[in-house]
Amino acid sequence: MNSSLRIHIAIIVFGLLVAVVGAKLIYLEVTQRDFLQDEGDARTVRMERINAHRGMILDRRGSPLAVSSPVVSLWANPSELPEEAAALAQLAEGLGVSVERFQEKMNRAKDRNFVYLRRHARPQKADAILNLGLSGVYSEKEYHRFYPSGEVTAHVVGFTDIDDSGQEGLELSYENWLSGQEGKKKVLKNLYGEVVRDIMPVTEAIPGKDLHLSIDQRLQFLAYRELKSAIYQYKALSGSFVLLDVSNGEVLAMVNQPSYNPNNRVRLDLASIRNRSVTDVFEPGSTVKPFTVAVALQSPQFSAESVIDTSPGFMTVGDATIRDPKNQGLLDLGGVLAYSSQVGISRLALQLNEYDIWDLFRRVGFGQASGVGYPGESSGFLPNRRRWKEIERVTFAYGYGLTVTPLQLASAYMTIASGGIKRDVTLLNSGSTLGERILPEAVARQLLVMLGRVVSEGTGKRAAVDTYAVAGKTGTARKIGKNGYDDSRHIAFFAGIAPLDQPRFVGVVIINEPKTSRVGGGAIAAPIFSRVMSNVLRLLNVPPTNTREAV
């Protein structure tokens, strides 16, 4: 075969091949176009999540208590990572781990196509790793929660987990409000899985809504500072301070010790997480005596001038002996409160209907959750006996046999301070001036005058505030041990109202197991109330009353 014939045959064969290929391309374009397009997209077009920005938590003045900042999370497909030791060494060094540890982690995840390398890395550090240009390493934009006030507001705000979901406190209570809704978008990726460009949003991310609290960060810090100092000074196990706005039930400050730093939870003690102001209960002791007196003031046989004979300073009820520190003699009802006479309140209680006392305790909020909406809130315990022994009647009247939280006690005193109107307490900046009348206004006013005497002449003298008249009640309760009440373990508390003439604030202080020679509420808790309330009144420009006399 000559050369020209061979060339001719080659041209014919080539033409036939071109025709076949062209026909195949036309066939695929006409009949298989949609199928091929979908298959191509499946290998290059991906659906990616758009994380929603979590709403901020702000105090009543707009100061941030919880904010979300953008971070980058790095992840890898182990099967796509380079095999070269040098490349893996670079990646491990960028992540701050040893090569051996990194390879061990990748070997464990070899059957997976997704494994996190580093969560919530700073953008600069993430970019340094991504700029290595290693195959199989990818990034995702996320948000990291930061708490500017640290442990000062930790118990109120709570915290989120690494996935930005609420785990404690208001972060958990208002998860749906704060979290928003994540979106989706189509992106085009190259052979190495890197995003080449965004194609189109499928579902827009809806950011979370901000949460405005009733907490005033300035007052929160004042209470936190004084409480922490007191816990250290008295070597106490724990403590709480709650400050309420009388006009609308808003919580202005709520602090506990021990506390924790929500920004660094590496060595977190679980016992320090709980918000003791709403989760821990205690027998309130003498702080409930004003409510027993309130029942007497509403009965026909007693008035504010009624006198109780407490001589000789003790009395026997059943097999028990009730004692005062000393014989107080004749005391009017205000004197019974001022000197916290156990004998006086016991003799008063035995002349009252025990169910009337129980009912008032219930109506001021004991034995029921406050409705503040905090996770894990305790309702306390209010016994409801069919028949009451005499010893149960008297001990109940002065605060044993029931349990309350610090917030419940503060709420009850707010009813007295507001002229007998009970308002719901709230942690949001949306308090209501509406409420339910629990006590006649005249009775509430008489109680205020009596509680003023507690500070001016009685057991609460150390709660006094210079240039302001304040009111309140001390309390000291023994804790229950293995063999009944333990005389060596106490809870000291003070529930106070300020100013006396036009009440604006209620503050409750709880100190659990002070290790000092003096353990009473007047010696331990009252001075804390005085220091905090003094700063609160001045910071908020409340005019001085210039007298401690009740008006």
pLDDT digit string, tens, across residues 292-324: 999 999 999 999 999 999 999 999 998 899 999
CA–CA gap between residue 88 and residue 454 (Å, rounded) = 73
Residues with Cβ within 8 Å of residue 241, at least 6 apart in sequence: 223, 226, 227, 253, 254, 255, 256, 277, 406, 507, 508, 509, 510, 528, 532
CA–CA gap between residue 280 and residue 510 (Å, rounded) = 11
Q: Which of 149, 286, 418, 530 is catalytic?
A: 286
pLDDT digits (tens, 9 = 90+) for 185-224: 665 655 545 555 555 566 777 889 999 999 999 999 999 9
Q: Check if 149 is active-site.
A: no
Measure CA 479 to chain center: 26
The phi and psi torsions of 53 (rounded to 5 degrees) equal: -75, 125
Arithmetic mean of pLDDT over the chain:
88
DSSP for residue 468 = B
| Homologous superfamily, domain 55-212 | Penicillin-binding protein 2a (Domain 2) (3.90.1310.10)
Does residue 68 have a pLDDT over 80?
Answer: yes
* Burial class for 261, CB neighbours closer than 10 Å (0-12, 13-18, 19+): middle
Topology alike, domains 55-212 and 217-539:
no
Strand-pair category, 45-50 with 183-189: antiparallel
The pLDDT value given to residue 549: 47
Domain ranges of the chain: 55-212, 217-539
CATH topology classification for 217-539: Beta-lactamase (3.40.710)
Does residue 390 have a pLDDT over 60?
Answer: yes
13: phi > 0 → left, psi -120 to 50 → alpha, else beta; which? alpha
Residue 282: which of 371, 155, 406 has the closest Cα?
406
Coil, strand, or helix at residue 82? coil
Does residue 183 have a pLDDT over 90?
Answer: no
Does residue 27 have a pLDDT over 70?
Answer: no
Please state, as a whole number, how many other Cβ atoms lie within 10 Å of the Cβ of residue 40: 10
Mean pLDDT score, 493-504: 96
Alpha helices per DSSP H over 45-198: 85-95, 99-108, 123-130, 154-157, 169-173, 175-179
